[in-house]
Amino acid sequence: MQIKTIMVIGAGQMGSGIAQVCAANGYDVYMHDLKEEFTQRGMNGIDKNLSRQVKKERMTEDEKQETLNRLRPTTDLDDAVHADIIIEAAVENMEVKCNLFSRLDGIAQEHAILATNTSSLPITEIAASTKRPKQVIGMHFMNPVPVMKLVEIIRGLATTDEVYEAVETLAKNLQKTPVEVNDFPGFVSNRILMPMINEAIFTVYEGVSSPEDIDTVMKLGMNHPMGPLTLADFIGLDTCLYIMETLHEGFGDDKYRPCPLLRKYVKAGWLGKKTGKGFFEYESN
Ligand code: NAI
């Protein structure tokens, strides 16, 4: 199965990162979002990232231009007809993803693979919203995509070996390290990471310590490169809440209960770095 053209759905922090890495490695990429201002924001972010690469002499100005030329921002989902694989990176919400997959199934070519970058939602359930569950798979990149090496590849119940191998090859061509994971809530990465982040939020909620000090404990005491609350802000607190809800519902165990303070921040629109405020404050992007 030859992959030449890729469509990425969602031009947010993950989608734009995935589109950038695909284009930088020679693929033609359609980057889709709901509105032109969103695709434009994604393109601006990519431009800024690539300029930084040029400055650090990791890429020439010509290579940057070639990468940008391979990217096509679009608000038309029908462009999915051009793609050999569609990688969905819209919001972490089952209804949104199932709706998208069902529409994409009707548009995409027969051979096309439908992949999702979901952080925690069951691949098998997303696949069931299509007539091609054999060609549906999880391709879970880490944030920030251009920097992080790992891709978790998650097979749905029906995913074929051929589709798995095509996605594994694609991940390697993107200079990533793929790891095979079974379809359980949160996969491996977020099943381990999110309860730690949620516990750090409970520690703030119960007044045990300040966000700064909690992050310092984990950085200096456990040698984590980034504290859990800063990491939560980078991931997006809405995404963290969706993942905790998926773990809570999927395993039915109260140890996964989202912290009320996390819910409160999300309701306030304090979503972390992307909105300028979460547990810490950030310059607006
Ligand atoms: P984000 O909020 O930065 O971006 C989401 C984008 O999707 C927005 O631009 C939004 O306009 C667009 N969108 C929403 N509904 C859409 C639709 N129906 N059609 C097309 N575009 C639509 O979110 P982020 O962080 O990029 O997350 C995207 C996905 O990646 C989620 O499933 C998340 O769980 C997953 N993910 C997130 C990670 C993180 O660290 N933030 C890490 C790995 C996976």
Find out whether 92 is annotated in a ligand binding site.
yes
The answer to whether 210 and 216 have CB atoms below 8 angstroms apart is: no
At residue 30, the pLDDT reads 98
Q: Which residues are catalytic?
A: 119, 140, 152, 190
Claim to verify: residue 171 and residue 233 sit in the same structural domain: no
Domain-embedded: residue 283? no
Question: Distance (Å, rounded) from C-alpha 124 to C-alpha 98?
Answer: 11
Task: Find out whether the beta carbon of 143 lies less than 6 Å from any atom of ligand 1.
Answer: yes
ipTM topping 0.90: yes
Helices (H), the chain: 13-24, 36-55, 61-69, 94-107, 123-127, 161-173, 189-205, 211-216, 222, 228-235, 237-251, 260-268
> What is the CATH number for 261?
1.10.1040.10
CA nearest neighbour of 80 among 54, 61, 108: 108
Mutate to test the pocket of ligand 1, among 31, 39, 91 (most ligand atoms within 8 A of CB): 91
- Residue 135's DSSP bridge partners are none
Query: What is residue 126's three-state secondary structure?
Result: helix
Task: Find out whether the beta carbon of 193 lies less than 6 Å from any atom of ligand 1.
Answer: no
Q: How many helices (H) and strands (E) does the chain have?
A: 12, 8
Task: Find out whether the beta carbon of 10 lies less than 6 Å from any atom of ligand 1.
Answer: yes
Claim to verify: residue 44 and residue 168 sit in the same structural domain: yes
Claim to verify: residue 260 and residue 200 sit in the same structural domain: yes
> What is the CATH number for 158?
3.40.50.720
Claim to verify: residue 195 and residue 177 sit in the same structural domain: no
Tens of pLDDT, residue by residue over 177-196, are 999 999 999 999 999 999 99
Q: Which of 134, 153, 182 is the last residue of a domain?
A: 182
Number of structural domains the chain divides into: 2
Residue 16, domain extent: 5-182
Tens of pLDDT, residue by residue over 54-92, are 999 999 999 999 999 999 999 999 999 999 999 999 998
Q: Which of 182, 205, 220 is the last residue of a domain?
A: 182
Task: Find out whether the beta carbon of 116 lies less than 6 Å from any atom of ligand 1.
Answer: no
Domain-embedded: residue 284? no
Q: Which of 118, 153, 182 is the last residue of a domain?
A: 182
Question: For the chain, what is the mean pLDDT?
Answer: 97
Tens of pLDDT, residue by residue over 92-121, are 899 999 999 999 999 999 999 999 999 989
- Please give the distance, rounded to the nearest whole angstrom, from the Cα atom of residue 66 to the centre of ligand 1: 26
